[in-house]
Amino acid sequence: MEQLKCIGCGITIQVEDPKVEGYAPPASLEKEEVICQRCFRLRNYNELQPVSLSGDDFLNILNGIGERDGMIVKIVDIFDFNGSWINGLHRFVGHKDILLIGNKSDVLPKSVNRNRLINWMRAEAVKLGLKPIDVLLVSAHKGHGMEEALAAIDTIRKGKDVYVVGCTNVGKSTFINRIIKEATGVGEVITTSHFPGTTLDLVEIPLDDGKAIYDTPGIINDHQIAHHLDAKDLKAITPKKELKPKVFQLNPEQTLFIGGFARFDFIKGDRSSFTIHVSNELPIHRTKLDNADALYEKHLGDMLSPPSGESLEQLPPFVRHEYSIKKAKTDIVISGLGWITVQHPDVVIAVHAPRGVDVVLRPSLI
């Protein structure tokens, strides 16, 4: 059989094992140009990303950092906290001090209490095995909170090196570029769009005292919804402007579709209101619970879109998460997408989200 090569990295394409390099979904072989899944992911969401690595390679780099002295700045996307968590980071951190930074604060609605978000992030980090010295919110894009972040880094590092770590798409490049800009007045210094096969070094930004800030490659985390979408769909789910919360009054046995990415079923309880916090561009469809399966089957990709195009093939099937919610004002967080605030107590609901995407509950931030 003729060997197909990936147009991104040149690797031989295989369709058997998604965990092995060169994998492409069988359906993609019908296209004229075949791209492996890894390149598909890199190419389709990766605008400013210097280099991304899969788990093992990344852990090797972390291991290297583990042996050095310095502090760690861990960046997460506040819309994708669980999806942008680096599993296993705590094992390599040792006694290093950690500053946890939540990026993309510019899209938080005004109604969100910043301190509650910070407290939630801190508690989640501890649950996941890390105890940050401090937790801050920034918008790397707009520059909000960057001065405080730099001041905190300077205090915490105590004359040592700084290692910036984060999953892809959390805004790490934007953050680093902004640090460089503020420090030196130059524009975008870290160049972009590398493809697999590029040397995977730490990028060094020298500091006045002979120490440096090191940018590490972004890790590809399979829990990020971003990896299952093409560029267009990723744009659609990524909030760019301040979120406008949408309130829905629902009767039991009604369903809301958030595009075709997620489905929310109100199963039991009195008529209640639910507030949806997702990108303003995502259309929301209301239907009867009874009709929901058939509607999804028939209209995924047209009425229920995004996803559309290539993302349809890449999107993992839905997994159903059911919750019996006792407390009023509970958020159901769908990592990478946003959250739904359940306003009233004593309801039973279910969320359907693509496999691998984390769904967690938290007390409302409002």
In the three-class reduction of DSSP (H, G, I as helix; E, B as strand; rest coil), residue 317 is classed as coil
User: Which residues 231-260 are close enough to bind ligand GDP by CB under 6 A?
Assistant: 240
- Name the residue nearer to ligand GDP (CB basis): 137 or 256: 137
The binder of ligand GDP chosen from 22, 83, 166, 336 (CB under 6 A):
166
Q: Quote the Cα angle for 47-357-224, to 5°.
A: 20
Picking from 118, 64, 334, the residue whose alpha carbon sits closest to that of residue 126 is 118
In the three-class reduction of DSSP (H, G, I as helix; E, B as strand; rest coil), residue 35 is classed as coil
Which of 41-49, 156-164, 326-334, 337-345 is the region at the interface with ligand GDP (rule: CB under 6 A)?
41-49
> What's the rounded Cα separation, in Å, for the pair 6 and 336?
28
The binder of ligand GDP chosen from 41, 74, 172, 228 (CB under 6 A):
172
- Report in angstroms how near the CB of residue 247 gets to ligand GDP at its nearest: 23
| Dihedral sign of CA atoms 61, 66, 67, 68 in order | positive
Residues 6+ apart with CB under 8 A from 23: 13, 14, 15, 16, 17, 36, 37, 38
- Name the residue nearer to ligand GDP (CB basis): 173 or 364: 173
User: Which residues 332-351 are close enough to bind ligand GDP by CB under 6 A?
Assistant: none
> What's the rounded Cα separation, in Å, for the pair 36 and 24?
5
Q: x-or-dash pattern for ligand GDP, window 82-121, by CB under 6 A? A: ---------------------xx-xx--------------
Beta strand pairing call for 98-103 and 284-288: unpaired
- Name the residue nearer to ligand GDP (CB basis): 52 or 330: 52
Length of the chain: 366
CA–CA distance from 127 to each of 10, 114, 120, 136, 349 (Å)? 41, 20, 10, 18, 25
- Name the residue nearer to ligand GDP (CB basis): 168 or 308: 168
The binder of ligand GDP chosen from 8, 171, 217, 338 (CB under 6 A):
171
259 within 8 A of 296, measured Cβ to Cβ: no
Number of residues in contact with ligand GDP under rule CB under 6 A: 20
| Dihedral sign of CA atoms 333, 307, 196, 186 in order | negative
165 lines the binding site for ligand GDP (CB under 6 A): no
Q: x-or-dash pattern for ligand GDP, window 214-233, by CB under 6 A? A: ----x---------------
Give the CA radius of gyration of the chain: 21
- Name the residue nearer to ligand GDP (CB basis): 139 or 314: 139
Which of 32-40, 166-174, 198-206, 342-350 is the region at the interface with ligand GDP (rule: CB under 6 A)?
166-174
Which of 32-40, 117-125, 172-180, 274-282 is the region at the interface with ligand GDP (rule: CB under 6 A)?
172-180
Q: x-or-dash pattern for ligand GDP, window 119-158, by CB under 6 A? A: --------------------xxx-----------------
Query: Two tokens at 128?
Result: 């996941």
- Name the residue nearer to ligand GDP (CB basis): 229 or 349: 229
The binder of ligand GDP chosen from 33, 47, 154, 182 (CB under 6 A):
47
- Report in angstroms how near the CB of residue 150 gets to ligand GDP at its nearest: 15
- Report in angstroms how near the CB of residue 125 gets to ligand GDP at its nearest: 18
Q: What does the buried/exposed string (b/e) look like for 334-363 if buried means 16 or more CB atoms within 10 Å of the residue's CB?
A: bbbbbbbbbbbeebebbbbbbebbbbeebe
- Report in angstroms how near the CB of residue 283 gets to ligand GDP at its nearest: 20
List 320's β-bridge partners, or say none: 352
80 within 8 A of 120, measured Cβ to Cβ: no
Residues of this chain that bind ligand GDP (CB under 6 A): 47-49, 103-104, 106-107, 139-141, 166, 168-174, 218, 240
